[in-house]
C-alpha cells in the first residue's frame, strides 16, 4: 500500500470525534449543575448538592430573590434521598439538611412543609407510612439544628407524586425522597 490510499472510515471517525468535542464544549458552558449517568440505563441521575453557598453559587442565585423558594431550591437544595425501604437519613443528606437549616435560620419568617415520597413498589398504605417516616426524619433533624417545630409541617404523598417516570432503579431512586417546600413567609 502506498501513502495515497485513503482509509474509508477515517473521515467518519474524525467527524465523530469533532462532533463529540464540540458538543461537550458547548454543553459545559450551559450549566453549573452536575449530572451523572446511571450505569444501569444510561439516564441522568441527580448528583448530591454541596449544600449552601460554599461554591460558585451566591445568595439569591441568578435572578432569584433572596429568601424566595427559588433561592432555596437553587442555592440550598430542596430534596434529600433515601435508600430502598428506609427512612434513615443517608450520609449525603446531612450537608444538604445543614444548609437547609442555615437558610431557614437566615429567614425566620418562612415556614416549610416536608413532603415524604416513595417509589412505586409496595402498597399505597405502606408507601404513605414510609413517606410519613421520611418526612418526620427530616423534620426531626431540622429541629435538632435549631429550627422551631412550629415552622415545619409534614405530609406524606407515598407513591402518588413521582418526580421521575419509569419502572427502573434510576427512577425509583429519585422518587425515594423528602422534599422541603416553602409554604409561606410569616
Classify residue 22 by burial, with Cβ atoms within 10 Å: 0-12, 13-18, 19+.
exposed
Place of cell 429550627: 147
* Whole-structure pTM value: 0.68
Q: Where are the domains of the chain?
A: 49-185
Model confidence pLDDT, tens digit, residues 79-138: 999 999 999 999 999 999 999 999 999 999 999 999 999 999 999 999 999 999 999 999
Superfamily of chain region 49-185: OmpA-like domain (3.30.1330.60)
**What whole-number distance in Å separates Cα of residue 34 and Cα of residue 17?**
23
Model confidence pLDDT, tens digit, residues 2-37: 544 444 555 544 444 444 444 444 333 333 333 333
Diameter of the chain measured on Cα atoms: 82
Amino acid at each position: 500500500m502506498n501513502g495515497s490510499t485513503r482509509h474509508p472510515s477515517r473521515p467518519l471517525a474524525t467527524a465523530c470525534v469533532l462532533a463529540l468535542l464540540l458538543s461537550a464544549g458547548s454543553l459545559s458552558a450551559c450549566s453549573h449543575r452536575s449530572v451523572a449517568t446511571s450505569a444501569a440505563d444510561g439516564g441522568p441521575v441527580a448528583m448530591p448538592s454541596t449544600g449552601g453557598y460554599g461554591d460558585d453559587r451566591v445568595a439569591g442565585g441568578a435572578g432569584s430573590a433572596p429568601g424566595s423558594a427559588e433561592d432555596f431550591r437553587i442555592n440550598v437544595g430542596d430534596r434529600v434521598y433515601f435508600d430502598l425501604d428506609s427512612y434513615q437519613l443517608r450520609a449525603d443528606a446531612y450537608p444538604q439538611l445543614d444548609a437547609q437549616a442555615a437558610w431557614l435560620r437566615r429567614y425566620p419568617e418562612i415556614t416549610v412543609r416536608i413532603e415524604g415520597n416513595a417509589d412505586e413498589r409496595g402498597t399505597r398504605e405502606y408507601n404513605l407510612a414510609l413517606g410519613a417516616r421520611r418526612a418526620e426524619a427530616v423534620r426531626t433533624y431540622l429541629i435538632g439544628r435549631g429550627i422551631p417545630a412550629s415552622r415545619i409541617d409534614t405530609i406524606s404523598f407515598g407513591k402518588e407524586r413521582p418526580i421521575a417516570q419509569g419502572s427502573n432503579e434510576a427512577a425509583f431512586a429519585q422518587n425515594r425522597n423528602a422534599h422541603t417546600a416553602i409554604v409561606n413567609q410569616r
